Amino acid sequence: MNKKDEKRSEMPVEEWADKQTFESTDDIDIPDSMAARVIGQDEAVAVMRKAASQKRHVMLIGEPGTGKSMLANSMVEELSPEDLQDIVSYHNPEDFNEPRIRTFPAGKGKAVVSEQKAAAAARRNQSNTLWVYACMGLVVLGLVGAFMFSNFTIALIAMLGAFIIVMLFKTPMQQRTETAIVSKLLVGHDPGETPPFIDATGTHAGALLGDVRHDPFQSGGLETPSHDRIEAGAIHKANKGVLYIDEINVLRMESQQALLTAMQEKQMCIT
């Protein structure tokens, strides 16, 4: 602390306020930087900036209102957006119950999933067109046979056959096969966007560590693919950004241990 700061700190608040020229808070310039808005915590700001540059963790201890949340939020300003990643879950043909997870640079994961959805839609439209032509051909053949042999039972049989084809091949199970292999975007970012700040205060284990949605069908071709039931947790959404937990003692001990494991091993399985 320099002499100017010491002199300013010794000045009574009333005397300092009388010397100010502003009439209201509208006359006060608010810094664009979140870190610059924190008053009286210069050392803490320096620590946060150093932790951001070195990709380290920080524990903040202080009374309410001292700027802990603002300091944590300001940390994202020091992080590089070039490090952001998209997280995508893939269908695993070798083991349906163990989906594959891949990471892409920011924006690439969205593009991959969009391409797969477009390809699946094209296959579905092509399949629909094929079955429409098949049904129309069957009906036409039935009508031709009915006129040739003067037996309209043939036309009725042909129409019944077309109806059966539609019912067999347009079931929900058949429709799901077109989109079952489409990957799911778990975490997506746009190129150049600000690194995420995720406030995970008071979250339960599933929201913090990730979860797998329950499937009521589970079999019979109506089940939701395993890779599509994965839900990313706060630790995954905050990857390459800031995960902020206020009052970490409110977390269950199991969640605290899992969080420590993720911090040490740099990875966390979703179960």
Other CB atoms closer than 10 Å to residue 106's CB: what's the count?
Answer: 21
Residues 73 and 129 in one domain: no
Residues 255 and 143 in one domain: yes
- Is pLDDT at 243 greater than 90 in this prediction? yes
Residues 135 and 246 in one domain: yes
pLDDT at 244: 92
Number of domains in the chain: 2
Residues 205 and 144 in one domain: yes
Residues 106 and 170 in one domain: yes
pLDDT top residue among 248 and 235:
235
Distance CA 162, CA 172 (A): 18
At 205, list the tokens: 């284990």
Lowest mean pLDDT among 31-35, 182-186, 203-207: 31-35
Look at residue 230 and tell me if it is in a domain. Answer: yes
Look at residue 240 and tell me if it is in a domain. Answer: yes
- Is pLDDT at 150 greater than 50 in this prediction? yes
Mean pLDDT of the chain: 80
pLDDT tens digit string along 1-39? 444 444 445 678 788 778 878 778 787 788 888 888 887
Tell which of 78, 102, 125 closes a domain.
78
Please name every residue paired with 88 in a beta bridge, in sequence order, or none if there are none: 102, 185
pLDDT at 67: 82
pLDDT at 222: 60
Residues 42 and 64 in one domain: yes
pLDDT at 96: 81
- Is pLDDT at 88 greater than 90 in this prediction? yes
- Is pLDDT at 104 greater than 90 in this prediction? yes
pLDDT tens digit string along 117-147? 888 877 777 766 766 766 777 666 666 666 6
Residues 201 and 104 in one domain: yes
- In this prediction, residue 93 has a pLDDT band, given cuts at 50, 70 and 90, of confident
- In this prediction, residue 181 has a pLDDT band, given cuts at 50, 70 and 90, of confident
Tell which of 25, 51, 78 closes a domain.
78
Look at residue 271 and tell me if it is in a domain. Answer: no
Residues 90 and 176 in one domain: yes
Residues 92 and 197 in one domain: yes
By C-alpha distance, which of 179, 174, 181, 176 is closest to 89?
181
Look at residue 52 and tell me if it is in a domain. Answer: yes
At 240, list the tokens: 């390459």
The residue range of the domain holding 39 is 17-78
Look at residue 121 and tell me if it is in a domain. Answer: yes
% of the chain beyond a pLDDT of 90: 16
- CATH number, domain of 93, equals 3.40.50.300
Residues 187 and 232 in one domain: yes
Look at residue 12 and tell me if it is in a domain. Answer: no
Other CB atoms closer than 10 Å to residue 211's CB: what's the count?
Answer: 17
Distance CA 11, CA 193 (A): 43
Whole-angstrom Cα Rg for the chain: 30
Residues 127 and 203 in one domain: yes
- Is pLDDT at 148 greater than 80 in this prediction? no
pLDDT at 154: 65
pLDDT at 187: 93
Look at residue 183 and tell me if it is in a domain. Answer: yes
Look at residue 182 and tell me if it is in a domain. Answer: yes
Residues 121 and 221 in one domain: yes
pLDDT top residue among 15 and 164:
15
Tell which of 27, 49, 78 closes a domain.
78
Q: What is the mean pLDDT of residues 197-211?
A: 90
pLDDT at 119: 84
